[in-house]
Amino acid sequence: MYRINNFNAGPAALPIEVLCQAQDKFIEYGNGMSIMEMSHRSKAVEQLFEETRQIMLEMLGLNSNYSVLFMSGGASMQFAMVPLNLMSTKRIGCYVLSGSFSEKAYQEAQTLGNAKIVASSKQQNWSSLPALNAIRLEADTAYMHITTNNTIEGSQFQTFPSTGSVPLIGDMTSDLLSRKLEFNEFSMFYASAQKNLGPAGATVVVIRDDLLKECVNPIPTILNYKTYAQNHSLYNTPPVHSIFMMKLVLEWLKRQGGIAEMEKINVQKANLLYDVIDSSGGFYKGCIEKPFRSMMNITWRMVDEEVEKRFVRESECNGFDGLAGHRSVGGLRASAYNAVPYQACKALAEFMIDFQNRNG
């Protein structure tokens, strides 16, 4: 079987073991039909959703005072759902801006009510992360929103502020389950699946029940978190196959030793690439200041765009894919999510060294 080294940012690599399991169940799930053919009102799908919820909470180390909701629409829909559910004419949504997606979340909130920037690194062109220790939240703050990992730029928060009684909400789309965090410090966090959770199509929202009770705004039913909680994520037809794949990925993660073991591997993978960048004498130039680098999305530039294009072309000829940077910023990016094997990162590091030897 021919498999390339997949460094795409999302949709991204999936564990080969999971793909084989899914292939085995694709035509016949155990009840005479495919998971893709089954009614979402069936007992089998209800059981699938409940088992996925339970293993998600187990992996996160959370208990039953959190609800796990499944929906579609991606993280972009959450940019609207968060302020719709929690902001009001008298309460402010506060945002930490650390990259393009956090800015999009803020801009969406602006269209819906009172949104405020409490910290930003935009003036630094997102090359660093804003200081969080100077943030002061007003009494009328409904929540504070932070993007834990910036997929496009390649930066990642290592610590998070104490927000007191103000709910802390995290967009964890590109690093959920990749490292240990005190998840109970967040009142809510969300992630679209196509980075570390499975294929595109599903979004998971983990929300503490006391915050769920505060979702009282008169908004469309389909955009209300309570709708998903009260109907066990089955109010409308959900992306069943994507959630089935999410369950397989969670089970795979558990077999690897859980988040703690996965974090160790992820650190090793990222270090392989950062070591090449830092020892290249400037041939490869990291985009992010060292203290703020992401272990999920490693970004760098080269001497000019022509050399970068040559790097991408040659990488594709050598069995790599997805190394071009995001279209909005250019450059190079390697997304080393959970399912990207250590050997793939080792092979990329060796290719980078060889490319420099031939072009430096």
pLDDT tens figures, 155-202: 999 999 999 999 999 999 999 999 999 999 999 999 999 999 999 999
User: Residue 117: which pLDDT band, with cuts at 50, 70 and 90?
Assistant: very high
Which of the listed ranges 33-37, 134-138, 277-281 does the model predict with the highest average pLDDT? 277-281
41 is in an annotated binding site: yes
pLDDT in tens, 228-266: 999 999 999 999 999 999 999 999 999 999 999 999 999
Q: Kind of pairing, strands 168-171 and 141-147?
A: parallel
* Alpha-carbon gap, residue 210 to 84, rounded angstroms: 17
Q: Exposed/middle/buried for 212, CB within 10 Å: 0-12, 13-18, 19+?
A: buried
**pLDDT at position 226, please?**
98
Domains of the chain: 16-255 (3.40.640.10), 258-358 (3.90.1150.10)
- In this prediction, residues 267-281 reach a mean pLDDT of 99
pLDDT surpassing 90 at residue 88: no
**Peptide bond preceding 11 in cis form (omega within 30 of 0):** yes
pLDDT surpassing 90 at residue 153: yes
The predicted model scores a pTM of 0.97
User: Residue 90: which pLDDT band, with cuts at 50, 70 and 90?
Assistant: confident
44 is in an annotated binding site: no
C-alpha dihedral over 96, 102, 108, 114, to 10 degrees?
0
- In this prediction, residues 297-314 reach a mean pLDDT of 98
Q: Exposed/middle/buried for 155, CB within 10 Å: 0-12, 13-18, 19+?
A: buried
pLDDT surpassing 90 at residue 334: yes
pLDDT surpassing 90 at residue 89: no
- In this prediction, residues 113-121 reach a mean pLDDT of 96
Give the Cα-Cα-Cα angle 99, 268, 342 (nearest 5 degrees): 100
Do 288 and 155 form a contact (C-beta atoms < 8 A)? yes
101 is in an annotated binding site: yes
Instruction: Return the number of other C-beta atoms located less than 10 Å from residue 305's C-beta.
Output: 11
- Tell me the two tokens of residue 14: 């999936």
76 is in an annotated binding site: yes
Amino acid making up residue 165: S
Amino acid making up residue 322: G
194 is in an annotated binding site: yes
* Alpha-carbon gap, residue 137 to 108, rounded angstroms: 20
Cα of 300 vs its chain's centroid, Å: 20
* Alpha-carbon gap, residue 195 to 335, rounded angstroms: 9
Mean per-residue pLDDT of the chain: 97
- Tell me the two tokens of residue 128: 């660093």
* Alpha-carbon gap, residue 93 to 118, rounded angstroms: 10
Say how many CA atoms lie within 13 Å of 104 toward its Cβ: 13
- Tell me the two tokens of residue 305: 């765009």
Say how many CA atoms lie within 13 Å of 319 toward its Cβ: 11
pLDDT in tens, 204-234: 999 999 999 999 889 999 999 999 999 999 9
**pLDDT at position 352, please?**
99
Give the Cα-Cα-Cα angle 191, 193, 195 (nearest 5 degrees): 95
What kind and span of H or E run contains 132? none
Indicate if the alpha-carbon torsion angle 102, 103, 104, 108 is positive or negative.
Answer: positive
Q: Phi-psi region for residue 10, left (φ > 0), alpha (ψ -120 to 50) or beta? A: left
171 is in an annotated binding site: yes
54 is in an annotated binding site: no
Q: Exposed/middle/buried for 347, CB within 10 Å: 0-12, 13-18, 19+?
A: middle
User: Residue 282: which pLDDT band, with cuts at 50, 70 and 90?
Assistant: very high
User: Minimal CA–CA distance to 173: which of 78, 81, 104?
Assistant: 78
85 is in an annotated binding site: no
Do 243 and 190 form a contact (C-beta atoms < 8 A)? no
pLDDT in tens, 2-41: 999 999 999 999 999 999 999 998 999 999 999 999 999 9
